[in-house]
Structure 1
Amino acid sequence: MAKAMKIAIVDDEQDMRQSISQWLALSGFDTEVFPGAEDALKSINADYPGIVVTDIRMPGMDGMSFLKRLMAQDSSLPVIMITGHGDVPMAVEAMRVGAFDFLEKPFNPDRMTELAKRATQRRRLAMDNRALRKELSDGTGLMKKLIGASPVMDRLREDILDLGQADGHVLIDGETGTGKTLAAHALHAVGPRAARKFVILSCAAHTEEELTTKLFEGDPEASVLPLVEEARGGTLCLEDIEALSAALQARLLTFINDQGTPAETRIVAICNLQEQGKTCEDALRPDLFYRLAAMKITLPPLRQRGEDILMLFTRLSEQFADEYGCDAPEVSAQEAAQLLQAPWPGNVRQLINVAERAVLQNRRGSGTIASLLMTEEDESQPVMTTDGKPLKEYVEAFERMLIDNTMRRHRGSIVNVMEELCLPRRTLNEKMAKYGLQRSDYLG
């Protein structure tokens, strides 16, 4: 469950700040109060996990000066301004400076709750995007998102960073389960639109009439904007772009052409046709395809990622073992080879399922990894690819996995790893250097 966003309430009148705090707390928010802007600035920094509600007229630093200080350190921080009678022009100026919205006293508490919900949702999205952008740009946390040390994954991360900084529309394709939607989120998170909206729609999940309404018409009576407008300034991600009818493709192309350069709304289109032996170019009208595919990312299938398969299996099985309160299964050399040879038609999504079932089997004390890789048509033999690999590749992949697992289990204790694997110190050091393993990654 996501941690509740904080709401900092800043007002020099004690009764007012306490009543706002009590109302929002009853609405499920985590509140903290400050009698003035100077006190609040001691606790609110660029990474503040929440929003700010502040009065405009306060002694010392007033609300406008406070807002400018907050915007200077984090322009994406939602700030709701509270105005007194006659302060509406000042509140309008605050909106120009960067305020999220304003409320005029006396205000409706339900309106306050509604604004707080919208503001905290925007803040959570901005914080999530910022964290993902940080992971991708400086390498921290990459194992959690785009795990893998294979050349194809290195290239994918480079493509995401490069195209994320560009401003054109992007087409993402690849087999099912390879992480296309994650790549779309990452593209948005590492680019200049990161603080703006990321709106996603599955074109295959709706009828043509529903898509027309959601994308281009909205619901004026309910004050619901069409998604092309809701995403303005940010990114509109269209999953299953191949499901759009010819009429909707034409309308989308018109929208793209009318935007000009740079585009106000960036389109990231995800295509899911590879398994059917077709391409997105087969399904889209040529002019739309070439507008979207000027920048293109293809997610690599798992079978092309080499020893990433063992790395992923190890991490996933450890996570599931923690979740189920049991030990992760130990992988033999034969099972490692079987994992590396399997065709993985479901890619990472399939590997997640296999890792979870392997942990459950291990908890019961029965079953093998090989049994989880069997086809439905022939349950007597595990599925293997026809592409053979040199024995040396299998041996090295298994060796790396074994050292990695042992280092993790012993929390980086070289002595314990040497003893368990019966390796002299120099040999262990050489192998760790060869496989890019660093002791510092396992400490603690």
Structure 2
Amino acid sequence: MAQAMKIAIVDDEQDMRQSISQWLALSGYDTETFSSAEDALKVLGPDYPGIVISDIKMPGMDGIQLLKKLMGADSTLPVIMITGHGDVPMAVEAMRVGAFDFLEKPFNPDRMSELAKRASNARRLTLDNRALRRELSGGTQIMNKLIGASPVMERLREDILDLGQADGHVLIDGETGTGKTLVAHALHAVGSRAGKKFVLVSCAALEEEALSKRLFGPMMPEDSQLPAIEEARGGTLVLEDVEALSDTLQARLLSVMNEQGTPAETRIVAISNLQEAGKTSEDVLRPDLFYRLAALRITMPPLRQRGEDILTLFTRLSEQFAEEYGCDAPQVTAQEAAQLLQAPWPGNVRQLINIAERAVLQSRRGSGTIASLLMSDHEEMQPVMTTEGKPLKEYVEAFERMLIDNTMRRHKGSIASVMEELCLPRRTLNEKMAKYSLQRSDYL
């Protein structure tokens, strides 16, 4: 369950502070009150985990001055201003400076709750995106997110670093569940736009009229957002399910792209999630739009092509779920490792995440097998195997690597403990760790 957002209430009148605080606390918010703008500024920093409600008229620093200070520190912080009856000029000034919205005294508490909810949702999205951007801002963090030592994953990481430094529009395609949105975040984070806006719009989630307004405007007066193409100015606009754009919206998007200079004022990263058999993004997009987007292109590798990455991912995911559920991660047998490697994985990494969680839950109950989970996901496929076989040697090596990796991780890099559990002499363990590129320092 998401943690309750904070609400900072700034008002020099004690009764007003208390009444607002009590009402919002009943709505589930974590409130804190300040009797002056000066006191509030000691707490309200750029990453404040919530929103602000402030009176405009206060002795000393007034609400407009406070708002300017807050916008200077973090322009995305939602600030709701409380104005006196008839103070229209002040309300207009507050909106011009950057206020999220305003309430006019005497205000309806339900209206305040509604505004607080909208502002909190906007703040949560901003903080989530900011946290992910920071997580992906360095090469090491990106490699940790994009797990895998297979050649296709090595190439993917190289492509992200190369295209991230380029400034053209990008098309990301591939099967569902392969991590296309994560790659879009990574492209933004490693490039020159890392500190700028990252705006994501799902084209399949809105009807055409609503999508047109969200992308290009005009927005209604009550809308707090700018059109996405304006909101992302100078940064990156990610269009999920770009194939869902109608011919009309495709033409309008192309027109906007053509109007921009070089380098583009707003970088477009289009994600294609086509699931129709035999269809590609080239089949459904206008040729001129397709070639503009596909000048820089990343095609995500399906999980079945990633070899022993499957076992590495399964191990990491099951450990995470085991920690979350307070139990031990299931131990994978050689037969189960082969079954994981042989499964066709039509749902890719998303499906593997689901299997790992269910494996942990059934292990906690002391029943079930990984094979049964795979079969339940593919009842129409008998047996659950890929059409391409692998040499026995590859299965054995993949399982061996996974076993050493898991044991090293469990014993936090203690060579003596790993030797004892696996009944291996020191020299043999060293040779196998070198063979599988396993470094003791990674487990300390």
Structure-to-structure mapping, 1:232-311, within 5 angstroms? 232-234=230-232, 237-257=238-258, 267-273=268-274, 276-311=277-312
1:403 is matched with which residue?
A: 404
Shift of residue 280 of structure 1? Answer: 1.4
- Inter-CA distance 400–38: structure 2 relative to 1 (3 Å threshold): farther
Tell me, in whole angstroms, the C-alpha distance in 2 between the residues paired with 1:110 and 1:197. Answer: 30
- Inter-CA distance 312–133: structure 2 relative to 1 (3 Å threshold): same
1:123 is matched with which residue?
A: 123
Tell me, in whole angstroms, the C-alpha distance in 1 between the residues paired with 2:64 and 2:431. Answer: 61
SS at match of 2:171: strand
2:212 is matched with which residue?
A: 216
Shift of residue 107 of structure 1? Answer: 3.7
Read off the aligned partner of 2:203 and give its amino acid letter. L
Q: 1:200 aligns with which of 199, 202, 210?
A: 202
Shift of residue 48 of structure 1? Answer: 1.5
Read off the aligned partner of 1:133 and give its amino acid letter. R
- Inter-CA distance 318–130: structure 2 relative to 1 (3 Å threshold): same
Identity score, percent: 76
Tell me, in whole angstroms, the C-alpha distance in 1 between the residues paired with 2:58 and 2:226. Answer: 40
- Inter-CA distance 126–166: structure 2 relative to 1 (3 Å threshold): farther
- Inter-CA distance 180–97: structure 2 relative to 1 (3 Å threshold): same
- Inter-CA distance 279–226: structure 2 relative to 1 (3 Å threshold): farther
Tell me, in whole angstroms, the C-alpha distance in 2 between the residues paired with 1:156 and 1:339. Answer: 22
Structure-to-structure mapping, 1:20-419, within 5 angstroms? 20-84=20-84, 89=89, 92-138=92-138, 145-157=145-157, 159-160=159-160, 163=163, 168-184=168-184, 186-187=186-187, 191-192=193-194, 195=197, 197-202=199-204, 210-211=207-208, 213-216=209-212, 229-230=227-228, 232-234=230-232, 237-257=238-258, 267-273=268-274, 276-322=277-323, 326-359=327-360, 362-363=363-364, 368-370=369-371, 372-373=373-374, 376=379, 379=382, 381-386=383-388, 388=390, 391=393, 393-419=394-420
Contact 2:243–2:273 (CA<8 Å) still a contact in 1?
A: yes
Shift of residue 160 of structure 1? Answer: 4.4
- Tell me the alpha carbon deviations over residues 267-324 of structure 1, each in whole angstroms, 9 at most, x when there is no partner: 4433234772342112222112122223322111112223221111112333444566
Is 145-154 or 278-287 further displaced after alignment? 145-154
- Inter-CA distance 114–377: structure 2 relative to 1 (3 Å threshold): closer
Tell me, in whole angstroms, the C-alpha distance in 2 between the residues paired with 1:274 and 1:378. Answer: 19
SS at match of 1:3: coil
- Inter-CA distance 162–125: structure 2 relative to 1 (3 Å threshold): farther
Shift of residue 31 of structure 1? Answer: 0.8
Read off the aligned partner of 2:211 and give its amino acid letter. L
- Inter-CA distance 382–91: structure 2 relative to 1 (3 Å threshold): closer
Tell me, in whole angstroms, the C-alpha distance in 2 between the residues paired with 1:14 and 1:432. Answer: 66
Tell me, in whole angstroms, the C-alpha distance in 1 between the residues paired with 2:251 and 2:423. Answer: 66
State how many pairs are aligned: 435
- Inter-CA distance 162–66: structure 2 relative to 1 (3 Å threshold): farther
Tell me, in whole angstroms, the C-alpha distance in 2 between the residues paired with 1:299 and 1:216. Answer: 28
Tell me, in whole angstroms, the C-alpha distance in 1 between the residues paired with 2:372 and 2:104. Answer: 66
Tell me, in whole angstroms, the C-alpha distance in 2 between the residues paired with 1:97 and 1:221. Answer: 19
Contact 2:197–2:231 (CA<8 Å) still a contact in 1?
A: no
Tell me, in whole angstroms, the C-alpha distance in 1 between the residues paired with 2:58 and 2:127. Answer: 29
Contact 1:64–1:94 (CA<8 Å) still a contact in 2?
A: yes
Shift of residue 136 of structure 1? Answer: 1.2
Contact 2:136–2:185 (CA<8 Å) still a contact in 1?
A: no
- Inter-CA distance 355–28: structure 2 relative to 1 (3 Å threshold): closer
Shift of residue 73 of structure 1? Answer: 3.2
Contact 1:236–1:268 (CA<8 Å) still a contact in 2?
A: yes
Shift of residue 130 of structure 1? Answer: 1.0
Shift of residue 372 of structure 1? Answer: 4.9
- Inter-CA distance 224–84: structure 2 relative to 1 (3 Å threshold): closer
Contact 1:228–1:265 (CA<8 Å) still a contact in 2?
A: no
Is 169-178 or 125-134 further displaced after alignment? 169-178
In the superposition, the TM-score normalised over structure 2's length comes to: 0.80
Contact 2:202–2:241 (CA<8 Å) still a contact in 1?
A: no
Tell me, in whole angstroms, the C-alpha distance in 2 between the residues paired with 1:8 and 1:14. Answer: 14
Shift of residue 366 of structure 1? Answer: 5.6
- Inter-CA distance 82–314: structure 2 relative to 1 (3 Å threshold): same
Structure 2 alignment gaps of length 5 or more: none
Is 305-314 or 329-338 further displaced after alignment? 329-338
